[in-house]
Amino acid sequence: MTLTELQNLYANSEIVEAVIEPSIQANGWIVEFRHRRGGFVPLTDGAGSEKCYRDIDTATERAFEVGFHQVRIADTF
């Protein structure tokens, strides 16, 4: 989902947690959001491709733009 779509979900309390984790497909970090009904929703561009950031700080800024005030960093490697 795009940043704007995720902001709408946040405003409606549909997403409850922001998670930054290493990208499996690229060298960088992705931002996902845990939906209140379960599962995760990734931050994507307008074409639906998962956004990948070079550093944790930039990825965290995107989560903050959605509306979250804290972010969980997942260590999946």
Phi, psi angles (nearest 5°) of residue 33: -130, 130
pTM: 0.90
> What percentage of residues in the chain have a pLDDT greater than 70?
97
Contact 51, 45 (CB under 8 A): yes
Output the CA–CA distances (angstroms, integers) from residue 51 to 13, 37, 46, 62, 74, in the order listed. 22, 23, 10, 10, 16
Higher-confidence position of 55 and 77: 55
Q: Where along the chain do its domains lie?
A: 3-73
Between CA 64 and CA 70 the distance in angstroms is 7
Which pLDDT does position 76 carry in this prediction? Answer: 58
In degrees, rounded to 5, the angle at the alpha carbon of residue 7 between the alpha carbons of residues 23 and 60 is 40
